[in-house]
Amino acid sequence: MSSPEQWTHPEPDAAPAATAAKPTAEQVIAGLRATDEGGADLVQLLTPEGERVQHPDFDIDITAEELRGLYRDMVLIRRVDREANALQRKGQLGIWVPLLGQEAAQIGAGRAMRQTDMAFPSYREHGIAWTRGINPTELLGIFRGTDQGTWDPVEKRFHPYTIVIGNQVLNAAGYAMGQKFDGKVGDDEGEATMCFFGDGATSQGDVHEGFVWAAVYDAPLVFFCQNNQWAISEPTERQSRLPLYQRARGYGFPGIRVDGNDVLATLAVTKWALDECRHGNGPILIEAFTYRMDAHTTSDDPTRYRLSDELEMWKLKDPIERVKVYLVRQQWADSEFFESVEADADKLGEELREFCTNMPDPPAERIFSNVYAEASPVLDAQRDEFLDYVSGFAGGEH
């Protein structure tokens, strides 16, 4: 990966990145290029160049300390992501699902939530998990194959990763209905739910049904769609004729498109949406316009379906670098701060590597555990028979 500075300060003659923004008609038709401009409705508060800009509807008061915190979150979760990606390459994980490029969308959305709010993730939400207080080591087992998520979803208010595309949107709608039925909606102390899904998921029936349910029951639910332009190999044009945020209108609730690489705008819009929901004005759809900088997973090969100059163009919109530029220009952070964040990232990466390489395989009886809440004599017998069979091999080798 090249230095982020290169992306925000390209050489004057580095024309390819600039011209790359305009795909040819043939490239669009061939599906080789995703939508690459957010359009006039994009809510942005911090430009890719690190300039603070005003928006007529959304603004945010943020202190130096808060912004340093968001920067730190993004740097650390990017490091987690890169370390985990490397751990897969070293054979320590079976697969990894990179979030590279989506740090601002996730940290902005996650930091907008209150502890009492609930979140339903898809499977790329490592940044949201981070903001819910989940140790990144708890994400590894899913991809190493030792477990299917170990955090307590009730305590953390962070549902298990959902791998079937779109299923969690209905589960979130039901949970938000429950918040309303419980009388927890209607004032500033109200609760709300956030549901995370991608551009590909918007084609799923469950997402449509989730929109319908949340709308007719006035559920306090923020639909947070990270449009990272690619559903594995399919560009967003394969999912919709219409910009995704505009779909909300058909369901009768607001849809906002935010610059998902702008942590300030994402934080501001999500806070607003959550507040609307907790006051009883939900649901709301947010489309965070961002980009999947890496492959869909470590098993994927994006060179087969997208052009590398598109990636170069998005590097210029890096979510972390623009905050760094702004912090420096404002004199809100000095080199000591940036060095301390790097040191924290190094430490976190080391902890992750250490933890991952020492994760034990689960015992064979784990196959049979907790299939049911109530006792299952049938499975107990199956387990005992299998363990007895296994123990028949001398030395426990099997």
Partner 1 sequence: MAAPTMDRSSAAAPASPVQTLTISKALNMGLRAAMEANPKVIMMGEDIGKLGGVFRITDGLQKDFGEQRVLDTPLAESGIIGTAVGLAIRGYRPVCEIQFDGFIFPGFDQIVSQVAKLHYRTQGKIKLPIVIRVPFGGGIGAVEHHSESPESYFAHTAGLKVVSCSNPADAYWMIQQAIDSDDPVLFFEPKRRYYEKGEVDTTTQPGKLFESRVLRSGTDATLVAYGPMVRTSLDAANAAAEDGTSLEVIDLRTLSPLDLAPVYDSVRRTGRLIVVSEAPSESSIASEIAAKVQQECFYSLQAPVLRVTGFDTPYPPSKLEEEFLPDLDRVLHAVDRSLAW
Q: Is 159 in the site for partner 1 (CB under 8 A)?
A: yes
- DSSP code of residue 7: H
Q: How far is the CB of 214 from partner 1 (least distance, A)?
A: 9
Least Å distance, CB 378 to partner 1, is 5
Q: Check if the beta carbon of residue 14 is closer than 8 Å to that of residue 261.
A: no
Whether 398 is catalytic is: no
> Can you tell me which of 18, 30, 64, 378 binds partner 1, judged by CB under 8 A?
378
The contact pattern for partner 1, residues 124-153, with x = CB under 8 A and - = no contact, is -----------------------xxxx-xx
8-16, 178-186, 317-325, 334-342 -> range binding partner 1 (CB under 8 A): 178-186
Residue with tokens 């502890």: 115
Amino acid at the residue 144: R
Q: Which of 296, 306, 322, 326 is catalytic?
A: 296
- Decide if 4 contacts 78 (C-beta within 8 A): no
Can you read off the two tokens belonging to residue 94? 């079976």
> Which residues from 347-376 bind partner 1, rule CB under 8 A?
369-374, 376
Active site residue 71: no
CA atoms within 13 A on the CB side of 316: 18
Binding mask 297-336 for partner 1 (x = CB under 8 A): ----------------------------------------
d(CA 250, CA 290): 23
Reported residue count of the chain is 398
Half-sphere exposure of 301 (CA within 13 A, CB side): 2
Nearest-angstrom CA–CA distance, 229 and 237: 9
- The nearer residue to partner 1, 5 or 365, going by C-beta atoms, is 365
Given candidates 91, 360, 363, 377, which one binds partner 1 under the rule CB under 8 A?
377
CA dihedral sign, ordered 306, 95, 350, 159: positive
Catalytic option among 217, 305, 353, 383 = 305
Binding of partner 1 by 164 (CB under 8 A): yes
The half-sphere exposure of 319 on its side-chain side, counting CA atoms within 13 A, is 36
Query: Of 31, 57, 33, nearest to 43 (Cα)?
Result: 57
Stretch that binds partner 1, among 206-214, 274-282, 341-349, 387-395 (CB under 8 A): 206-214
Residues forming contacts to partner 1 in the complex (CB under 8 A) are 120, 147-150, 152-154, 159-160, 162, 164, 167, 169-179, 181-182, 205-206, 209-210, 212-213, 216, 369-374, 376-378
Write out the catalytic residue numbers: 292, 296, 305
